[in-house]
Structure 1
Amino acid sequence: MNMQTIDPKRFRSVMGAFPTGVAIIATAWEGELFGATINSLTSVSLTPCMLLFCTNEGSATGSAIRKRKLFSVNILGHHQSDLSARFTGKQRNRFDDLAVAFSADGLPLLQGAAAQLCCRVSTIHKAGDHDIILGEVISGEEAACKPLVFHKGVYGIFQRA
């Protein structure tokens, strides 16, 4: 049997057909705030409550989370697409001029988010050029706003059928 692998650009395009939510993972380490946009957030278990997300191997935010072993998940609301773009790429000072509160453990919580969770790192697995970070959920809150959705490279909102 001839097993070929898909071209990475084609794979990205095909996976774009799967709509996702958008979140910013964040932590604080040695007096600095770190955060990155993700759309790989998945609920894993209810007993105990666990989730996972993926981050680029060696990213500054991923490295800070490895060291701190705590992170927040800020699920973005429909009005926060600008934050999604702000927390991608190499931009420094991503938290400047943002309304940020802090959890009891000092984790950054972005104001206006649709939901926020605080987590403790349980396990980290290497997978290709990414790390899969599994976290046990410590706390969570939700707001009354529609979530931001990402599909085929475009932001949108969830609408019930």
Structure 2
Amino acid sequence: RDTFAQQIEAQGKVPRQVSTTEVVPAGAEIAPHLALRPDQSVGVRRRVMYANDEPLQLGDSYYPLDIVDGSKIMDPADVVEGTDQVLEDLGHIPTRYEDEITWRMPTAEESAKLRLAPGVPAGRLARTSFDQHDRPIEVYVVILPGDRHVLLYDVSAE
């Protein structure tokens, strides 16, 4: 099971995702994370993720198209084994991540999709995944309603 489903099931809730996929230009925001030009195409997998039918988060994953074109990642069906496993099967083993976390007010579209009450801020986590050759292979941008999430990090002092 993918990580989201495992975490939601561990809370005794029923996970569900609604996914779409498309090919788009990387754009000014995503391109630097993937070491691409803004006009280069990327595959994007967009998800609305639910717990017991309550929208919990929005997650858009951007991938270099030369890696994911024709793979399960570009099929909107659930990827039961998880996208990290698919990337590994494609020869790109995720070995490290870089997180960028910001908080802001949500856009009107985000508020509607997440059914947010007025005044609820949203966290934005942009996680860049790197493979065994230190190539950036995914940028996962997740929008987290501020009234539904706690970010907890365990960091070694070594």
TM over 0.5: no
Greater relative CO, 1 or 2 (CA 8 Å, sep 6+): 1
| Structure 1 or 2: more helix by fraction | 2
Query: What TM-score, normalized to structure 2?
Result: 0.32
TM-score (norm 1): 0.32
